[in-house]
Amino acid sequence: MWYLSDDCYEYCAGLSSFVNNPSEASEHLVVLLQYAAALVPKDKHGQTPVYIMATAGLRLLDAR
């Protein structure tokens, strides 16, 4: 994970890198969500937006 700004972090492997093993993508997202959950107070979890951003590489993959 690397720092982008005070409220945005990016993991080095993009979701498109999991095209041959989608189950690893979900594990990847769980780690990021756990990290975010640790930063946000529990009483704010339900009202805190989460954004999953993708590059053109993900949009170019075949839908399976």
Q: Which of 8, 12, 4 is nearest to 55 (CA)?
A: 12
Residue 64 domain-assigned (yes or no) = no
Q: Which of 63, 55, 64 is nearest to 17 (CA)?
A: 55
Q: Which of 7, 10, 9 is nearest to 48 (CA)?
A: 7
Q: What is the CA radius of gyration of the chain?
A: 13
Residues 8-56: tens digit of each pLDDT: 666 666 777 777 887 888 888 888 888 889 889 999 999 998 887 777 7
Q: Domain containing 46: what range?
A: 2-59
Does the predicted model carry a pTM greater than 0.85? no
Query: Number of folded domains in the chain?
Result: 1
Residue 41 domain-assigned (yes or no) = yes
40 with 48: CB under 8 angstroms? yes
Q: Which of 10, 1, 18 is nearest to 51 (CA)?
A: 10
